[in-house]
Amino acid sequence: MDVQIRKIAWGAPSNIVAYHSTKVGGHSTGIFKSSNMSLDVGDNPKNVKKNRDSFSKQLNLLNNPVFMKQIHSSTIRKVTKPNENLVCDSCYTSVPGLPLAVLSADCLPILISSTDGKKIGVIHAGWRGLSNDIIQKFIKRFAVNVKDIVVWIGPSINPENYIVREDVFNKLSSLSTKYFSKTKEMGAWYLDLKYVAKVILKDLGVKKIFLENLCTYDNADIFYSYRRENQTGRIATIIWIDSNDN
């Protein structure tokens, strides 16, 4: 069964194409049932390859998507050709027909495009990446005027399901305490990852921001969630510049 994919509707130029997968369909079994896209979570690599191939074939991609080996860093790479050994949590390209992929369960999958449709990028951002300024570093490396950038923030865990402790609070509260709301438990807070990213982008001057409000924790039928299941799969979000667009 083919991996289920959904087209992303956002404010990007017409030549920028983006889709994300769900956990429906595919070939993974057990705790990874059934469309896991990650090679780094313990799933059978043969099943992951079948899932990735299903994604690519449905979209008639000219090149295999560039999948990052994500390590919760703030490392950003420029990509000019297909690469299977990219260790980072963000990358960008201006090469038409070269898809970039970001894997996620509860963390933020972020897509970026220039409004002229000539440059794209992806970011994987959890609390570690956000506290290490991955968004700020990306915008600087992307080298596009912030007024000419459009951003999509994808499905991730919503704050009512994301409780963090003092270690996370201490790192992110130095940026702002407005990202947090108190729980009934001492030393525990709800954290709104989407809001953190949105505020950072707005503070940088980015105005065109689109949010997908679906919660990965709540929607167990279509999304994986690390907080819900601990060891689990990842969906993929893919973006590319359509070389055939006129």
**What confidence tier does 245 reach under pLDDT thresholds 50, 70, 90?**
low
How far, CA to CA in Å, does 46 sit from each of 2, 43, 158, 234? 15, 9, 32, 15
Structure tokens at 19: 């889709």
Structure tokens at 75: 């490392």
Alpha-carbon span 41 to 231, nearest angstrom: 7
pLDDT > 70 in the chain, percent: 99
1: nearest Cα among 32, 23, 20: 23
pLDDT digits (tens, 9 = 90+) for 188-229: 999 999 999 999 999 999 999 999 999 999 999 999 999 999
- Do residues 73 and 89 make contact, with C-beta atoms less than 8 angstroms apart? yes
Alpha-carbon span 101 to 124, nearest angstrom: 10
Alpha-carbon span 227 to 55, nearest angstrom: 25
> In the Cβ-directed half-sphere of 17, how many Cα atoms lie within 13 Å?
17
Predicted local distance difference test score (pLDDT) of residue 176: 81
Could you say which DSSP state residue 133 is in?
T
Q: What angle do CA 200, 204, 209 make, to 5 degrees?
A: 65
| Straight-line distance from the first to the last Cα atom of the chain, in angstroms, rounded to the nearest whole number | 33
**What confidence tier does 237 reach under pLDDT thresholds 50, 70, 90?**
very high
Other beta carbons less than 10 A from residue 194's beta carbon: 22
Q: At what angle do helices 134-142 and 193-204 cross, to 10 degrees?
A: 40
Alpha-carbon span 224 to 143, nearest angstrom: 33
pLDDT digits (tens, 9 = 90+) for 19-70: 999 999 999 999 999 999 999 999 999 999 999 999 999 999 989 999 999 9
pLDDT digits (tens, 9 = 90+) for 127-150: 999 999 999 999 999 999 999 999
